[in-house]
Structure 1
Amino acid sequence: MNSNGMRPVHPGEILQDEFLEPLGISESAFASSLNEPLKVVNEIVMQQRCVSADLARKLSGYLNTTPEFWLNLQLTYDLRKAESNVVVLWPPKAIAASAKHASTKAH
């Protein structure tokens, strides 16, 4: 989950749920059509691999989308994942007070 309350969605989930399943295409057949190893397609579907620019180009050509579609999905996923890992100390007064408290303990 992140700040908007939604979990990040990996491009592999979109590939599987919105394209492969509805079209009845197996990972193996799809990998062969893209001239990619099955392992690459499987790792994307399993959300263990990022969509590269080269792969985005191949996906877009086969699925009648754009490379930007796939790259934007990947970028959004990466940003949401990073967002969920960030600890923000706010407001600044709390940070300053914490630092002051720590420095007085050190003396």
Structure 2
Amino acid sequence: MRTKKAEPSTVGEILNEEFLKPMNMSLCKLAELTGMSYSRIRKIIIHNDPISLKEALLLAEAFHTDPDFWINLQNFHHDWHQKCN
């Protein structure tokens, strides 16, 4: 019997739940901090749009993380979908 693993979190989910909410940071503030548009950030968080390498670099700089953290999150989620389809 095969068990199906739970879908991994998206970049948007992690960004919102692990960074923005605990820091009480608005999307507008993140846009200001990163130089990304409010619309773009909203698409990442609400619509789970994938991020670019440049956006991973901007998020890493804003939150003092490694860009690979963001890229790996995205790749893990993408790979999970590829295996399930």
Q: TM-score, normalised by structure 2?
A: 0.91
Greater Rg over alpha carbons, structure: 1
Higher relative contact order (CA 8 A, sep 6+): 2
Pair 1:25-2:25 in alignment: yes
| Structure 1: runs of 5 or more not aligned | 86-107
Measured on the aligned residues, the alpha-carbon RMSD in Å equals 1.2
Q: TM-score, normalised by structure 1?
A: 0.73
Runs (4 or more) in structure 1 with deviation over 2 Å come to none
Match of 1:100 in 2: none
Q: Percent identity?
A: 28
| Structure 2: runs of 5 or more not aligned | none
- Residues 40-83 of structure 1: per-residue CA shift (max 9 Å, x gap): 10011114311110000000001010100000000001001111
Deviation at 1:4, TM superposition (A): 4.6
Match of 2:71 in 1: 71
- Contact 1:12 1:45 (8 Å CA) reproduced: yes
Pair 1:53-2:53 in alignment: yes
